[in-house]
Structure 1
Amino acid sequence: MQEIKITNQNLNREALFYALESAGIQTNAYADLIFNHPSYTYTDAEKEISIVELTLHDLGLKNGGNFKQTEEAIQLSGYNCCPLEIAPYIRMHYRSQKPARPKTENGHPPDSILIFSKPLADSSEFPKGFYLRNIEGILWLRAYIASDDYLWEPDTQLIVRKTVIEKNIPVLR
């Protein structure tokens, strides 16, 4: 499992959308809902985080899991949710994602990578977060809506934040 450092360039809205467009990255209408939410911050987020990519099975969810189960498994495994604001920078970093297979209706798209984060709104009608997808060579940063009981498969790939563990080093006197 490779740790990747992602730098938040703290771009304002216009500069971020220019960077995404310049990189050939597309977004969907659900992503626009997140980007337009009053709680979404463009320039106040953390400067750098470390992320890792794994599956629900790697987190111990051998039968898959819903949002709450996945969040608990992430925390029990020593990881954390990614800040939503870092998702565009993760997408710009992940340039060589394998092309997606055809999408299934009402399900997590095959070959997509879920960026696991806390939602901005507690509503089943508002997007929970983002996922990465390569559709016919076009890179996407897509947002998704899912009910609280939606079950991701055990082989669902996700990106989580690597938690920094500070070691208490005893002071010798």
Structure 2
Amino acid sequence: MDAMQYELTLPADYDMEIIRERVRRLGHMLDHRKGLGLKAYLIRTAGVGGSSVNQYAPFYLWNAADAMSRFLVGGGGFHNIVRDFGRPPVRHWTVLAALAGPARHAPVRSATRHVATLPWGTEPAAPAPHPQLHTAAVAFDAYRWEVVRFSLWATESPEDPEATERYEVLHLSAPPSEGF
């Protein structure tokens, strides 16, 4: 399983309703995407939830690396982002653990991400269950020696002093036949 994310940091005066409308119009397009575990359509809005930026930052869990590759370079949907915003750098991690939480069947409202350097000799811990946890993943970037802990929540995300980013979830594409 692979995780990926790109971040489109937008101007401070950008109307985030434009992104909300884009997701309302196009978000369903990956709801049945072969090889996709899930795509969380994430935003951060300057001045909300501690964010200093306006940002569109979708996060993906892929069950198949070839499906991820086709999406990025094979005209499988990413070309719309490139057309509208340019070609952003895409972060990529190898998933070490993924967990379907107790709130797996509830609608998703928020997400948290924590990125940190992985100390040598340390093995990242699996995500801990929480009553409002929808999905969690722990993934690793061997180039940067970083670990990312990503969580989707059925409520506003719980206080987490370690979370480096907190997001609002606009839509979740989670193909039923591609679950993990």
Shorter-chain TM-score above 0.5: no
Judging by fraction of residues, say which structure has more strand: 2
Q: TM-score normalised to the size of structure 1?
A: 0.28
Rg (Cα) greater in structure? 1
